[in-house]
Copies of this chain bind each other. A is one copy, B any other.
Amino acid sequence: MTQERRKFRREGEAQRQGDLIAAALDLIAEGGPQAATVRAIAQRAGVTPGLIRHYFRTKEDLIGAAYAQFVRRMAEDHSATMDGAGPDPLARLAWFVWRALCPPLTDSRTVGLWAGFLHLVRNDPRMRNIHRTGYLSFRDPLESLIGECLAATGRSLPPRQLQAEAIAANALIDGLWLEGSVLPEDFQPDELPRLGVEKVGALLGLPLTDHLEDMQ
């Protein structure tokens, strides 16, 4: 009855770190930071708790790494999708909005992570920096895109007003992101991205709806 020691396989550092981070993100997304205990993370990653401390000096380090990956992945996902968007600014802006309001950016997992990390971000300067980077990597391209679109239609704004337009457009996207992520059952598929493209167009006075057919 001497219960034998558990068998295991050796894995590379990158693999195990990745597994642990993924497990932590899953748990935070579902149940908030309180659900991401050392033991729960280890179990979901398929290892024993002690291993966490072999790859991360402390639990806080692991959570920090998880947040960094979360932010980086969001930014990468969205900027990568812009690569195949063609040259026309209007089409690009429509595509930008559309993609922001589809999974994986808009879904309940993402908003769960966002909310779960909020307090950690607010109380830790290191995390706040990570956050700001990701936030600007979304808002800055949006502002450029809006500038190009206005220029293409013959209008042109002073920087101050252009920034205000970007803030408002960004807010509209954020708000739809929020509503769609928190109450996904209240919207049909495509309803949210369609509404986003239409209303960002209305906000800026741009005929974005012309490009709705290109979406998918």
Report chain B residues within 8 Å CB of A32.
32-33, 118-120
Report chain B residues within 8 Å CB of A177.
175
Q: Are B167 and A123 in contact (CB under 8 A)?
A: no
Q: For the complex formed by this chain, how many copies does it contain in all?
A: 2
**How many angstroms from the CA of A115 to the CA of B32 in the assembled complex?**
10
**How many angstroms from the CA of A178 to the CA of B173 in the assembled complex?**
11
From B108, B116, B119, B178, contact of A175 by CB (8 A):
B178
Q: Are B168 and A171 in contact (CB under 8 A)?
A: no
In the complex, how many residues of chain A place their beta carbon closer than 8 angstroms to a beta carbon of chain B? 37
Q: Are B179 and A174 in contact (CB under 8 A)?
A: yes
**Is A111 among interface residues, defined by CB-CB distance under 8 A?**
yes
Within 8 A of B (CB), among A30-65: 30-35
Report chain B residues within 8 Å CB of A170.
175, 179
**Is A195 among interface residues, defined by CB-CB distance under 8 A?**
yes
**Is A68 among interface residues, defined by CB-CB distance under 8 A?**
no
Closest B residue, CB atoms, query A118:
B115
Q: Are B118 and A122 in contact (CB under 8 A)?
A: no
**How many angstroms from the CA of A179 to the CA of B132 in the assembled complex?**
12
Chain A 98-129 interface mask (CB, 8 Å, partner B; 1/0): 00000000001001101110111011000000
Closest B residue, CB atoms, query A171:
B175
Listed in ascending order, the chain A residues whose CB lies under 8 Å from chain B are 30-35, 108, 111-112, 114-116, 118-120, 122-123, 135, 164, 167-168, 170-179, 182-183, 195, 199, 202-203
